[in-house]
């Protein structure tokens, strides 16, 4: 079931306690108590081996992945005057390839339309995050990286976080790092100063917290959790989607999302890798 704007983002998995404002000591429904902020805990050890459900075979409990994806999601600043805001996110969560005590998530924000210059049906914009699950949110969100207009003349790579060499993140809702999405084009930035109006690259960013964005865990390249976003209850007429081109879309398939890129490429693209730091 999708949530309306004004509520926190929620995964499709039912029965999860995903209140991002919960106390660090609260226990999750999956048995995933958050450790003390000063400790380092392997993410794979946060769920008892006897109750672990790992359908995407990445070593992490699927319910834990859903919880982390919600609780450590950056603060989403979709421009308040965006003319085509309908969308939601798919994501891939796994142990961080440089440190399995951490979790690496790539989100791909899918929109029904890009309604800026060169408008088209479909839009996909990705960003990556490093999560230290031993620290409560937002402290455990230690690195965020976004690429706007990837592989074009307008491409900009922005990153922030607590890792050495990174600028501090801007604070949004609840102190979470802010992720800007430019007006109508939806290009992602972690610093507003990098989102500027130029003659060719016309991006405009503004703070405007976006809640109620659906999140769908699509699994791993070799073990898909979702292969049809309409059947999964994400891209549906009931949710307001109207363009036939993006219905029954396979996020792991080779096809572009309407006139945008292929989300499957986002999920495996090392360009979105974030550093491993605590």
**Measured distance CA(47)–CA(45) in Å, rounded:** 5
Find all residues with CB under 8 Å of 180, minimum gap 6, and list them: 77, 188, 189, 190, 191, 192, 195, 205, 206, 207
Question: How do residues 154-212 score in pLDDT, each as one tens digit?
Answer: 899 999 999 999 999 999 999 999 999 999 999 999 999 999 877 678 899 999 899 99
**Measured distance CA(222)–CA(58) in Å, rounded:** 10
Question: How do residues 8-27 score in pLDDT, each as one tens digit?
Answer: 454 544 223 333 333 333 33
- pLDDT exceeds cutoff 90 at 28: no
Please report the beta strands in 15-138, taking only residues with DSSP state E, as ranges in sequence order.
75-78, 87-96, 99-114, 120-131
Average model confidence (pLDDT) across the chain: 86
3-state secondary structure of 123: strand
**Measured distance CA(75)–CA(179) in Å, rounded:** 6
Residue 53: both structure tokens together: 């459900």
Residue 70: both structure tokens together: 């919600």
257-271 mean pLDDT: 96
**Measured distance CA(32)–CA(61) in Å, rounded:** 10
3-state secondary structure of 83: coil
Q: What pLDDT score does 114 carry?
A: 94
Question: How do residues 84-130 score in pLDDT, each as one tens digit?
Answer: 999 999 999 999 999 999 999 999 999 999 998 888 999 999 999 99
3-state secondary structure of 32: coil
DSSP 144-180: EEEEESTTSTT-EEEEEESSTTPBPPPB-GGGPBEEE
pTM for this one?
Answer: 0.85
Residue 127 in contact with residue 187, Cβ under 8 Å? no
Residue 91 in contact with residue 109, Cβ under 8 Å? no
Band (pLDDT 50/70/90 cuts) for residue 152 is confident
What are residue 193's phi and psi, to 5 degrees? -65, -20
- pLDDT exceeds cutoff 70 at 82: yes
**Measured distance CA(230)–CA(26) in Å, rounded:** 34
Please report the beta strands in 11-69, taking only residues with DSSP state E, as ranges in sequence order.
none
């Amino acid at each position: 079931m999708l949530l309306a704007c004004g509520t926190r983002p929620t995964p499709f998995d039912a029965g999860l306690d995903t209140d991002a404002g919960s106390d660090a000591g609260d226990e999750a429904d999956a048995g995933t108590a958050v450790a003390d902020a000063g400790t380092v805990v392997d993410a794979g050890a946060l769920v008892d081996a006897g109750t672990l459900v790992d359908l995407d075979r990445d070593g992490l409990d699927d319910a834990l992945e859903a919880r982390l994806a919600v609780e450590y999601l950056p603060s989403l600043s979709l421009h308040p005057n965006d003319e085509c805001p309908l969308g939601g996110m798919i994501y891939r969560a796994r142990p961080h390839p440089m440190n399995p005590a951490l979790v690496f998530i790539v989100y791909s924000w899918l929109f029904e339309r890009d309604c800026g210059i060169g408008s088209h049906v479909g839009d996909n914009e990705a960003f990556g995050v490093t999560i230290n699950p031993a620290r409560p949110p937002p402290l455990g969100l230690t690195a965020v990286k976004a690429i706007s207009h990837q592989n074009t003349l307008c491409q900009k790579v922005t990153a922030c976080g607590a890792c050495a060499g990174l600028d501090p993140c801007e604070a949004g809702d609840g102190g979470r790092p802010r992720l800007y999405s430019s007006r109508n084009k939806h290009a992602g930035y972690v610093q507003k100063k990098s989102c500027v109006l130029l003659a060719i690259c016309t991006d405009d960013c503004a703070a405007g917290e976006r809640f109620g964005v659906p999140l769908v865990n699509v699994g791993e390249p070799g073990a898909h959790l979702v292969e049809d976003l309409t059947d999964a209850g994400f891209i549906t007429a009931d949710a307001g989607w109207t363009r036939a081109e993006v219905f029954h879309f396979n996020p792991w398939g080779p096809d572009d999302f309407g006139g945008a890129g292929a989300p499957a490429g986002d999920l495996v693209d090392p360009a979105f890798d974030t550093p491993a730091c605590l």
